[in-house]
Amino acid sequence: MNFNPANNIQDLQYFGEFGGVNPSISDSSTYTFLSAKTMFDTFEGNADGCYLYSRHSSPSNLYLGEALAAMEGTETANVSASGMGAITSVLLQLCGSKDHIVSSRTIYGGTYAFLKNFMPRFNIKTSFVDFTDLVSVEAAITKKTKVLYCESVSNPLLEVTDITKLASIAKKHRLKLVVDNTFSPLSISPARLGANIVIHSLTKFINGSSDTVGGVVCGTREFINSLRNVNNGASMLLGSTMDSLRSASILKNLRTLHVRMQQHSKNALFLAEKFENDGLKTVYPGLKSHPSHELFKSMMNSQYGFGGMLTIDVGSLENANELMELMQNRNLGYLAVSLGFYKTLFSASSSSTSSEIPENEQKEMGLSDGLIRFSIGLDADIERTYQLMRNCMEAIHILKKT
């Protein structure tokens, strides 16, 4: 594949109003029209290049959206105030009363709660299935199904979905394949593999500085325009609009994403290999022991690695809590949810980010109490980090002293 998402970002040129090297920030919620006719045409969606009102679109949001569309190789994109703002508006745009969704059972806790608890209010039902088993995905499709929904690398179990094969199932049944690519920006390009719509929480790796939430929907011009439609567009009408100042700052961070992803991936692979070698139950798509290692390799833009997320299982929630508190005390990272920060972040998934999923369902999908999810940071000296983490594990008897 000669698609390189980082080149597409690098090649963008947006100048500011006075020749600035960064685009000017549009610090306005509303825009003047020279003629009343143009205002009418803009409402009707017939005046390209005119801005109306910033909930609909703004120059700063369009710059960021176009950069993310370039990254994913889609026609265009629409940014939103959060990842959930992107996910909920996509699903409500695609589905109406009595429609059905087939979703992966290992997805972000907020998405799971939305599909399981909120969408039934609108008579929209979801079947949750194991997306690594394509036979069960296809078996769950009914006449009412409109959407296949999954994450390219799932949270928190790091299962990898075969996007190419799912895309052909979606095509065969005339469904939209929607992929949340938050865990693997640059590494995997779902739209290039056949996904119809790609979503990110910009809050994580893409922004990378844990200072804001944000989201994006990447897709065809037709779909993105439908989201923004003043009469029936979910983004326009539900109103989770990103602020222009924020989109300007996320655009600046996006330019270093390739360098950061390479370092996150390098550090995560180093630690995963060490932890596995130490006898810890370690899950990382870059390990040969990962059931989807070869699948990930076949889909990836290889220079960005297998990403910054790994999990270890330390046997019990007590062990997990003790280890995380000790690592935090020794300044190896923070006991915090979220991902993509320069510091390592860790949390016990079953009692935090996946606590929306009932205990019996957690068990069934292999989510154990002792599972710690790590978002590995940009540590300059990962060997030092490993030694210090190992000391913590020895101190609480998860590993024997060597």
Ligand X SMILES: *Cc1c(COP(=O)(O)O)cnc(C)c1O
Question: Which residues are near ligand X by CB under 6 A?
Answer: 82-84, 108, 110-111, 151, 155, 180, 182-183, 201, 203-204, 213, 215
Shortest spacing between CB 93 and ligand X, in angstroms = 17
Shortest spacing between CB 183 and ligand X, in angstroms = 6
- Whether the Cβ atoms of residue 3 and residue 73 lie closer than 8 Å to each other: yes
Shortest spacing between CB 361 and ligand X, in angstroms = 18
The DSSP string of 160-206 is: B--HHHHHHHHHHTT-EEEEE-TT-TTT--GGGGT-SEEEEETTTTT
Indicate the residue whose CB is closest to ligand X: 83
Shortest spacing between CB 350 and ligand X, in angstroms = 16
Shortest spacing between CB 54 and ligand X, in angstroms = 20
- Whether the Cβ atoms of residue 322 and residue 346 lie closer than 8 Å to each other: no
In the complex with ligand X, the residue whose CB is nearer, 233 or 308, is 308
Report the candidate in 304, 272, 245 with the shortest Cα–Cα distance to residue 372.
272
In the complex with ligand X, the residue whose CB is nearer, 203 or 244, is 203
Shortest spacing between CB 84 and ligand X, in angstroms = 4
Side-by-side strand order, sheet with 215-219: 76-80, 215-219, 197-201, 176-180, 145-151, 100-104, 125-129
In the complex with ligand X, the residue whose CB is nearer, 246 or 274, is 246
Report the candidate in 118, 117, 177 with the shortest Cα–Cα distance to residue 145.
177
In the complex with ligand X, the residue whose CB is nearer, 105 or 204, is 204
Place of tokens 């996509």: 90
In angstroms, the CA 218 to CA 74 distance is: 6
Phi, psi of 181 (to 5 degrees): -105, 20
**What tokens were used for 91?**
């699903």
In the complex with ligand X, the residue whose CB is nearer, 113 or 134, is 113
In the complex with ligand X, the residue whose CB is nearer, 213 or 324, is 213
